[in-house]
Chains A and B, each alone.
Chain A
């Protein structure tokens, strides 16, 4: 059952207008989400993670945004050219989303009950009493105590963790088939983070909802994801099974990300960080996009853009020339910085 893809993104290219030019924020990414799995998407700010997820919700602001190319196939149907009306039937119903900032993602002027029931009644024919019952059920599902009382409260009366639970309850209102979580734990305390992650894992197992978890934290990915996609500058640079990638990363960027996760076993003065920043969209015209920050860069990297190469291991793909050099280590130019 887990092998059936529910959501497929194929060669998606999303650009944003800046002045007169369109700059690609997401440049030809492809991946699939299988039924019932938790897929992690990892990358720094500006790597195109959020744009990808907004595209899957049909929420790219047009203009200035533009979907230039690619397909978004949900349950066998291409969503790219469907009308706004059809999108509304999918959003919050079949695919729903939770966001990074629980403090600002709920409307401050409406009660929790109002906002939850709105999500429920939008996609169902529930009466008001049924919607109230469902709201209470949802709040209990996400582990909120005294659910009846919470319905009458306003977002400012709840803590950040509670608000994120409410957001999850709202996203789960219509038993969506896909839940996209855009950095759901970034703004929360570490202990609350662990609770929210555990909750998402639990919901995934209980309801078989597929989850896309967007994060910049490989620790979070290690905790609950089955597969992971590493994004850099609008492209997928590595993807595969979580265990394979954590143990045996092939792309220098993934290696860098892993090195920058704090480790309790080693004593270090400073945490490792990858030098430099993600290039702005459209600024790299030639060669590998990571070349300028790569510690293992060599001549070819600056000339050609690498494709995604399929490694022997099942589904492990990497966008790097390194592994094509079986004995070509002598071609190395060395460290850039």
Chain B
């Protein structure tokens, strides 16, 4: 096992505004989906589908977009951290 690189001393703080946004993007679907009372009804219907069904299916693309935003932000954050690390070394 090669010795893993030591972490540099001046890493950015663990909690950054970007990370908070990432966390929110990942958390929102849980609130929306687990709060069943918020969507347990039939009206309004969409092309004949009761609200209960189309609303939940609508959350599939919504959560995908949220995850995509989180992915972009994570990539940017990691690039920044790597750059900071590279600069220190």
Q: Is the pairing of A and B real?
A: no
Which residues of B does A touch, CB under 8 Å?
A: none
